[in-house]
Structure 1
């Protein structure tokens, strides 16, 4: 299929890494299907992308905290007669604080967003891609999935699911022309920390956060090359490498120190 008729579907495509990925795909001639909750933000981003890159941008305002929402997105895309050639599972949130104190209903929403939506979109579009033996999936995970995360226990656990799930599916489809790439960013300068009520943590106040545009570029290049995994940034690569040499309880204690509230 010619590039000028190919579509990329991106969840959480109006901000952060998702929007930076949308810009890169548009620069490379892909039409876009952007999924996010806020129709006003979707309209603004769509107008920018159309004007700057001359691509078609379809917007779907859906709340991916809701279990049925990914199915509704799939049905609406199909009803428009569009074929998704690239799926980018990107939308995700976290919650900051000790698990004993945090809001279980928000955590259940986060599990649905970070795991349920990834699972559903991957199932629906992978079936189509395998049937035609063509397609690419980018799973935006996190280096957090490679280590326990005190004060972000549920978020790290959801990303551990994404990593394990991705690796299993990669093996299942290895004889096809469909590829699935796992992108592992480190702490990145996005709205994630604001939404997680994490702006007072040492990680945010005392670290240089990664540039979402650089993370998106790393993810796009790895996806196009058909790589299984890319860890974005040298600091993140070193961090993941170091944690593999340490006992889990030591990794957890180190992460606790890094994420606790800043004393400044």
Structure 2
């Protein structure tokens, strides 16, 4: 994004690290005021102060656990506040599970599904109430190129985000609200570190920077694209993932870090 916005506000979930922090940074650089959402209040305040200092915008913080009804309701109510409208919603909060489905605790899988499917669905619904009434708005759902492959419940959850975003962009784009699923591949963030994943499972050329993923994602959303797959290499990966047999797109196991 190269032009500065005029008194626009963006709400970003998972905003203290990784792609969420980069979305917030680039939106702030473009002049958007921010509503930053994450679980840790101290890190939120630090990020808010950083963005306000660096970009002369205002940054509001909402400490919320988006795997809980209470946390989701807090953010949804902020999105429904027509007196302080949110122009851009970025559903970025996410977690990964390193083990296979049968090895994970059921509560872990339920939390994973909640954060990747139910929570963005609820926040999209809340945001649309105000956006459609105003006749404008932008929604970005941070999915993954894994949505086009077969990698357990993570792929399944991200496939939901892609399918929903495609439909929503058709349904609401003509009403002024652009909805995009951003589908990065391996990206240098804290995401894989928090999982305890050995990053050597993927060759260096497949790793992307958060700056590029966000820059291309924002540009594609501004152009009204329903799906954004950053870089040509991952567009190719996404294409073949769609047409190859499922057993070939399941991929190798995600190795844990060795102690």
Partner of residue 201, structure 2:
202
Which residues of 2 match residues 38-187 of structure 1 at below 5 A? 38-76=40-78, 81-149=83-151, 153-187=152-186
Q: Decide which moves more: 132-141 or 238-247.
A: 238-247
CA distance in 1, matches of 2:80, 2:238: 39
Q: Provide, for residues 10-41 of structure 1, a one-character-per-residue CA deviation record: whole Å limited to 9, x for no partner.
A: 00111111111111111111000000000111
CA RMSD, 1 decimal: 2.2
- Aligned CA distance change for structure 1 residues 145 and 177 (closer, same or farther; 3 Å): same
Q: Which residue of 2 aligns with 1:37?
A: 39
State how far apart, in whole Å, the 2-side matches of 1:231 and 1:72 are.
31
Aligned partners of 2:150, 2:153: CA distance in 1, in Å?
9
Among 221, 229, 245, the alignment partner of 1:231 is 229
Instruction: State the distance in 1 between where 2:81 and 2:128 align.
Output: 18
SS at match of 2:87: strand
Q: What's 1:191 paired with?
A: 190
Report the alpha carbon displacement of residue 207 of structure 1 after superposing the two structures with TM: 6.2
Q: Which residue of 1 aligns with 2:15?
A: 13
Aligned match for 1:243, one of 217, 224, 241: 241
Residues 118-148 of structure 1: per-residue CA shift (max 9 Å, x gap): 0011001112111221111111110011110
What's the secondary structure of 1:34's corresponding residue?
Answer: strand
Is the alpha carbon distance of 1:135 and 1:97 closer, same or farther for their aligned partners in structure 2, counting shifts above 3 Å? same
Which 10-residue stretch deviates more, 5-14 or 78-87?
A: 78-87
Contact 1:13 1:34 (8 Å CA) reproduced: yes
Number of residue pairs the alignment of both structures matches: 255
The match for 1:221 is 219
| Deviation digits for residues 80-130 of structure 1 (CA, Å, limit 9, x no counterpart) | 941101111111111011222112211111111111110011001112111
CA distance in structure 2 between the aligned counterparts of 1:138 and 1:159, rounded to whole angstroms? 13
1:67 touches 1:116 (CA, 8 Å); kept in 2? no
Bigger CA drift: 68-77 or 43-52? 68-77
Aligned to 2:36, the other structure's residue is in SS state strand
More displaced stretch, 132-141 vs 193-202: 193-202
When normalised by structure 2's length, the TM-score is 0.91
**1:4–1:31 contact (8 Å) kept in structure 2:** no
Question: What secondary structure is seen at the aligned counterpart in 1 of 2:243?
Answer: coil
Kindly provide the CA deviation profile for residues 192-241 of structure 1, in whole angstroms up to 9, marking residues without a partner as x.
112223236613x7665211111111111112222222101222112111
TM-score by length of 1: 0.89
Distance 1:245-1:238 versus aligned 2 partners, 3 A rule: same
